[in-house]
Structure 1
């Protein structure tokens, strides 16, 4: 079983398939490296497709100290996997927690990113939701301590932005819930406390987003309510960003509608590789609605 080792000594399990330009997939809190199987099978036909388990997600290591989990560390762990594979640059695709890591990878390692796909990114990002989100992270950590992963999965899998997945694909949803139940309760707890709870609001990162020139695709489902306004913020603020909203979709969009997800990401990467991804025309950002005054 292959592992990459981070600069602080944490082993991250990874998988890869195919050859060509590298594309690395970064999973969400409720997923793991297995969540990207549909993407791995699709993209390995044309690219070197890579995925890995974040710290806290077996078979990757599960550090016991929550201080070893952070938003910056999550971004740097992407670089650690690329370093291990001797990859200078890659297309980076992340969902939710992985979308935040992907965005921060763009801030911290812009020279390593061919492109960024920031999907399902926004939970707790809005100013009025910060305290509520932090309190929910504390509640999740306590629930995991008291009840364990199996009981947690039965509750967490039915969140208001995940029921769409169950309605659309009951078999896929059952597999997702089963895999969630197999996670490390300690790893999930520490991820909530170190990464989720402490990450900065997107609304405090506007200056960094304005300076980001890496080609960026922002993806969200139209029923992923906490991500809609943050998605607009990223579109409006990142000068190289496009926004695509997937209809009748919740949060787990790569699993809920893999064909549409793969098409959107594949078309984006093709345009980037062809040198045809545009930066925003400044004429589109004037205050006038019609351009007449």
Structure 2
């Protein structure tokens, strides 16, 4: 069995900021883009599977985990992340890549495609969306209202809310509630993966989280979808209450010739719930498109 080549390090982006990356395997490049406040661990099954035949690249967004917060916080934007992707791509002198995205990562990838379409060979969206997912989340407006109140509170008592954020999220009850709300399928996903996610979210700087969450709510990448001319696969979870199927339906309807997979038992993290099914379907899609 051939060992998978692994490389880690930092790459300087357009503003001098250092972006942490991990590269595994050899072959055509696959970029994996996670959701806001998420971690590379969300892709662990895909990294293990696809690095046998592809070069799999993961990286931490600005202000996420091993990529620090930039000195100029105005560079905590989708546009800046798109520039970071280009910096990684250019550093390794890569050919056109497949971009896989999960959740908020779909907005990141759509914006990057809009700015740098020549970097892209094909697209895979998992539980993705291109416009405000908070509106009507869980069937009502309360999530939107709660975020606005939280944001206002942070503006008044930032240290108190940062402390509360860290301690409320990083506990077993909060993890179980997150899963029950449709974030994970407790009968399929390892609870350790949920714990890793909770610790990652709890460790985030709240200002960074709020800035990206605000952009997630205001950005609408739907018009870009009409301009997508490369193959695309959209994957939805039948039990995803966070970003329900109508978000993925929109992606499928707007991207001409796109393929669609509904995973009935999939939560908001379908790639963690049923990795074998997801990986095989993605592999089929890549092979069909000579990638």
Larger deviation, residues 72-81 vs 24-33: 72-81
| Counterpart residue number, 2:230 | 214
TM-superposed deviation, 1:124: 6.2
| Counterpart residue number, 2:16 | 9
| Counterpart residue number, 1:173 | 191
TM-superposed deviation, 1:21: 0.6
CA distance in 1, matches of 2:78, 2:203: 19
| Contact map agreement 2:126 2:235 (CA 8 A) in 1 | yes
| Counterpart residue number, 1:119 | 126
Q: Note the aligned Cα RMSD (angstroms).
A: 2.8
Aligned residue pairs total: 269
CA distance in 1, matches of 2:80, 2:287: 29
Q: Gaps spanning 5+ residues in structure 1: where?
A: 275-293
CA distance in 2, matches of 1:52, 1:176: 20
Q: Among residues 86, 90, 108, which one is paired with 2:97 in the alignment?
A: 90
CA distance in 2, matches of 1:152, 1:139: 17
Matches within 5 A, 1:158-237: 158-159=177-178, 160-164=181-185, 166-169=186-189, 172-183=190-201, 185-187=203-205, 189-199=206-216, 204-225=220-241, 226-237=243-254
CA distance in 2, matches of 1:248, 1:234: 20
CA distance in 2, matches of 1:266, 1:230: 23
Q: Which secondary structure state, in structure 1, belongs to the residue aligned with residue 245 of structure 2? A: helix
What do the CA deviations read for 1:109-162 (whole angstroms, capped 9, x no partner)? 211101111111138636954976554444566485241434323326633112
Q: Among residues 225, 249, 259, which one is paired with 1:242 in the alignment?
A: 259
Segments of 4+ in structure 1 off by > 6 A? none
TM-superposed deviation, 1:262: 0.8
Is 2:287 the counterpart of 1:270?
Answer: yes
Q: Among residues 43, 54, 61, which one is paired with 1:47 in the alignment?
A: 54
CA distance in 1, matches of 2:133, 2:230: 24
TM-superposed deviation, 1:230: 1.4
| Contact map agreement 2:170 2:198 (CA 8 A) in 1 | yes
CA distance in 2, matches of 1:150, 1:80: 36
TM-score, normalising length: structure 2: 0.81
Change over 3 Å in CA distance of 1:239–1:268 after alignment to 2: same
Change over 3 Å in CA distance of 1:4–1:140 after alignment to 2: farther
Change over 3 Å in CA distance of 1:71–1:137 after alignment to 2: farther
| Contact map agreement 2:130 2:221 (CA 8 A) in 1 | no
TM-score, normalising length: structure 1: 0.80
What do the CA deviations read for 1:68-123 (whole angstroms, capped 9, x no partner)? 22222233322222122221421010101212212222222211101111111138
Change over 3 Å in CA distance of 1:180–1:53 after alignment to 2: farther
CA distance in 2, matches of 1:144, 1:10: 27
Change over 3 Å in CA distance of 1:133–1:179 after alignment to 2: closer
Is 2:272 the counterpart of 1:251?
Answer: no
| Contact map agreement 1:21 1:90 (CA 8 A) in 2 | yes
